[in-house]
Structure 1
């Protein structure tokens, strides 16, 4: 099935590497105009080199960890490409893999801002454009940890559980107005950023051990690929994505089973 997003405007936070980058490639490949934010200048340049000639890629600077920064990012996207049709709130992460008794207030606040607050600020601002037009997609990146949780990432798990609840509530407010809000819950995905951090504090020796730990309870016994997440996100942005409204969709190879 071919999905055509020609003429549609998308913003992807954390869009220069990993999952966000894969989603950017998928949406750009379908003809969308895509703005991405990210902190990795080298990865941003690689993305720009591939897509700049199309005139459909804009790399933004901005701070997703503040209300003003997040809202300004959407303002800049709309100034460059027109009203927002698709908002992918992908930025997030783990600040420290430590026992909860060792987690500082600053580390807790960091994870709250980059995960849950960023999702709230981005969703609220996106809805101000989408609701009057009775159309839009908001894709919030959660995690399989938003369905169960693992030791040493309790703060991260708390935020991802909260994102899933947020999506269910918001979806019931706006789904009948034509705006579809969905939460994606990936399992372990082979990205440089994740693998750099995943073994810290867990006593693991390398990439293979990290993958084995995080996939031992899954059905497919392997990591989910970036292309799989990118292509599924593209499907959600297409004409049949409305069926997933309010969903907390597991993309974890059968780890969570719900």
Structure 2
């Protein structure tokens, strides 16, 4: 799964799953641009990745179309071409049932998960289609396959990403481009520790109870690790994954079996 000579964009790549993906792609020879909203997080990520000129940080808010497009352009300006797009930006800061979700919370969550992938992918296709090659990998979630109550906006967005990816795979396959989703199980990232207590309250429990709930849903008896998600992305990004498109690869410890 050698990626020497390939370039990649990893949105939301400064911490958590995104940082693990960036590290794995770098370890296998790719040159990578990671995005994030804050310069401080960007500097920390570059220090942790320690890959010299092979990694670049681009400050961008992927919910804003100009920022998302600038991130794509940064890869080409820095490394000459674009081969791999990993739509990793996502998450939620609002959790509610369908009966209680507000319009603002609904639209914020869709923007963070769905709009970001659209803006980035659409602009990347202007580069990938003419060169007749490329890999588009979108991070969905187990909640996009078997959702929990109280996470309606997040689950809806993650389901939508799977649908978007399946349509995209049929549209771009003739151009030598693959499009796939990876659906992680619960991973105890910074985002989960920050936002998990809010989700727990909607589910009628506390943070520890939330983690027990997620572990209890698995066949492995543990949470998913960031590097396990990154390994799935590596497969889909590599020559070994050239025959896989329109797929939704679960990395959830058997949660959605």
* 1:32-181 equivalences in 2 (<5 Å): 32-52=30-50, 54-181=52-179
Task: Note the C-alpha offset of 1:196.
Answer: 2.3
Local SS of the residue matching 1:137: strand
Local SS of the residue matching 2:73: helix
1:216 aligns with 2:216: yes
2:247 aligns to what? 247
Contact 1:16 1:40 in 2 (8 A): no
1:112-150: per-residue Cα shift (whole Å, max 9, x none)? 111111111111111111111111110001001111211
Task: Note the C-alpha offset of 1:62.
Answer: 1.2
**Equivalences, count:** 254
Q: Distance in 2 between matches of 1:237 and 1:75?
A: 19
Contact 1:9 1:85 in 2 (8 A): yes
Tell me the TM-score normalised to structure 1 length: 0.93
Contact 1:119 1:140 in 2 (8 A): yes
Q: Distance in 2 between matches of 1:239 and 1:33?
A: 16
Task: Note the C-alpha offset of 1:203.
Answer: 4.2
Task: Note the C-alpha offset of 1:40.
Answer: 4.8
Once structures 1 and 2 are overlaid, which stretch shifts more, 21-30 or 120-129?
Answer: 120-129
Q: Distance in 2 between matches of 1:248 and 1:58?
A: 29
1:228 aligns to what? 228
1:22 aligns to what? 20
Q: Distance in 2 between matches of 1:186 and 1:52?
A: 26
Name structure 1 gaps, 5 residues minimum. Answer: none
Question: How big is the alpha-carbon RMSD for the aligned residues of Structure 1 and Structure 2?
Answer: 1.6
Contact 2:13 2:35 in 1 (8 A): yes
Decide whether aligned partners of structure 1 residues 53 and 192 sit closer, same or farther in structure 2, where only a CA change above 3 A counts.
closer
Contact 2:182 2:232 in 1 (8 A): no
